[in-house]
């Protein structure tokens, strides 16, 4: 039986990943400090004898015996990662050092959840893995962007220097059921506002773009990447290349919910990237992967989730 460690396993993506690994017959150790994660997302797994949860902060060393590691621990929403920016950088950098030290000692293959934010406010679109990025190193997003960039550096240096088996993926905006209602990211904000009949707030004019990947598609990509030959270490973009403006997203959410909420604007956020869209040629060619859930379909499932959450409360957090 394979022993998998998932850091950040009580978070949005991590909880789906723990569930998948258990379904595949793995023994899963979920490590989380509950900074943005919740017990509600993993509550349904607690009775499984092959599932174990450890409250632990990855900035501290971790000595466990595992066969593979998924390093997802890090707040992902700008609202949350900017609350304690020093801790955000520590989580990415000290967290990577500890997790790589663990991988080096145990010989475990290690997946790193890197991010499209390493491209910053990109001067090229769509972004290929060859693009080095355009990040403001001292801005309010830098704790996350530069933390993740440094983590990539550490992953590649542990790979070259210590022969650690690494898999570095750059995830683009991902959404779906189990996003925290107070997550603060655009999909959950818009869906909840629409369902509550409150205004959808655009930061800036809404012309900035993102490309949204449904969580199941992302997990398929992670699976394929982890199963790929050792030599394919990445970085590889995992995202849905269907680019949409944030205003377009707001209009789509209103259409799908049938909500009569209005759309209002607020000042733009500092250093907010204007364009973001993955070039997924590498993932297509090396992994045979491409997303299959269209935005309307994924949003419909996400809307149904938040609708249940509003009606039934936290008990509906697992779906
Ligand atoms: P999330 O905030 O829901 O989950 C992150 C989890 O990490 C939470 O459970 C949190 O409590 C935990 N955590 C934070 N700091 C920790 C620490 N120091 N020690 C232990 N646990 C800690 O976010 P998510 O959307 O599930 O993102 C998961 C990973 O994927 C993150 O590393 C994020 O940077 C990356 N990512 C996500 C997206 C996205 O759109 N969701 C895009 C790019 C990259
Ligand atoms: N580490 C860990 N778990 C392990 C092995 C190492 O948390 O199973 C930590 C250890 O505390 C160290 C870091 O990972 O600070 C980096 O380990 P490495 O072996 O690269 O560094 P060294 O111990 O030689 O400084
Ligand atoms: N955004 C918005 N209204 C919101 C939340 C976010 O207009 O309620 C915008 C935000 O300024 C950014 C985009 O939506 O341009 C995506 O924001 P999010 O925080 O989801 O993720 P990011 O890709 O910026 O990390």
Model confidence, pTM: 0.98
Residue 75 CA: which ligand is closest?
1
Mutate-to-test residue for ligand 3 from 127, 203, 209, highest number of ligand atoms within 8 A of CB: 203
Mutate-to-test residue for ligand 1 from 17, 71, 74, 186, highest number of ligand atoms within 8 A of CB: 74
| Domains of the chain as residue ranges with CATH | 2-312 (3.40.50.720)
Q: From atom 23 of ligand 1, which residue's Cα is the shortest distance away?
A: 76
Predicted confidence at residue 70, as pLDDT, reads 99
Give the Cβ contact number of residue 133 at 10 Å. 16
Active site residue 203: no
State both tokens at 256: 């799908």
Work out whether strand 200-203 and strand 263-266 pair parallel, antiparallel, or are unpaired. Answer: parallel
Bridge partners, 210 (sequence order): 244
Bridge partners, 68 (sequence order): 4, 109
Ligand 2 contact via 135 beta carbon (within 6 Å): no
pLDDT class of 313 with cuts at 50, 70, 90: confident
Point out the catalytic residue in the list 70, 81, 144, 305: 144
Bridge partners, 30 (sequence order): 6, 53
CA dist 310 and 81 (Å) reads: 25
How much is the ipTM here? Answer: 0.98
Q: What percentage of the chain has pLDDT greater than the value 90?
A: 97
């Amino acid at each position: 039986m394979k022993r998998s460690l998932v850091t950040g396993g009580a978070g949005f993506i991590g909880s789906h990943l723990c569930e998948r690994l258990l379904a595949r017959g793995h023994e899963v150790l979920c490590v989380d400090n509950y900074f943005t994660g919740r017990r509600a997302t993993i509550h349904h797994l607690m009775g499984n004898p092959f599932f174990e949860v450890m409250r632990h902060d990855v900035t501290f060393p971790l000595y466990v015996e595992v066969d593979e590691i998924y390093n997802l621990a890090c707040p992902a929403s700008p609202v949350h990662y900017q609350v304690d920016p020093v801790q955000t950088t520590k989580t990415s950098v000290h967290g990577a050092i500890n997790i790589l030290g663990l991988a080096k000692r145990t010989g475990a293959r290690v997946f790193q959840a890197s991010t499209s934010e390493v491209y910053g406010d990109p001067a090229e679109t769509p972004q290929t893995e060859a693009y080095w990025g355009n990040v403001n190193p001292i801005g309010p997003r830098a704790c996350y962007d530069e933390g993740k960039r440094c983590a990539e550096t550490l992953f590649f240096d542990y790979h070259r220097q210590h022969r650690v088996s690494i898999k570095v993926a750059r995830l683009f905006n991902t959404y779906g059921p189990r996003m925290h209602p107070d997550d603060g990211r655009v999909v959950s904000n818009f869906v909840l506002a629409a369902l509550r009949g409150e205004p959808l707030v655009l930061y800036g004019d809404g012309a900035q773009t993102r490309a949204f990947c449904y969580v199941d598609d992302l997990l398929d990509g992670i699976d394929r990447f982890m199963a790929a030959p050792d030599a394919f270490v990445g970085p590889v973009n995992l995202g849905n290349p269907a680019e949409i403006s944030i205003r377009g997203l707001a209009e789509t959410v209103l259409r799908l919910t049938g909500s009569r909420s209005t759309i209002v604007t607020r000042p733009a956020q500092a250093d907010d990237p204007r364009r973001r869209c993955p070039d997924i040629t590498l993932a297509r060619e090396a992994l045979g992967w491409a997303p299959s859930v269209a935005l309307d379909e994924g949003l419909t499932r996400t809307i149904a989730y938040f609708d249940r959450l509003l009606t039934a409360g936290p008990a509906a957090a697992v779906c």
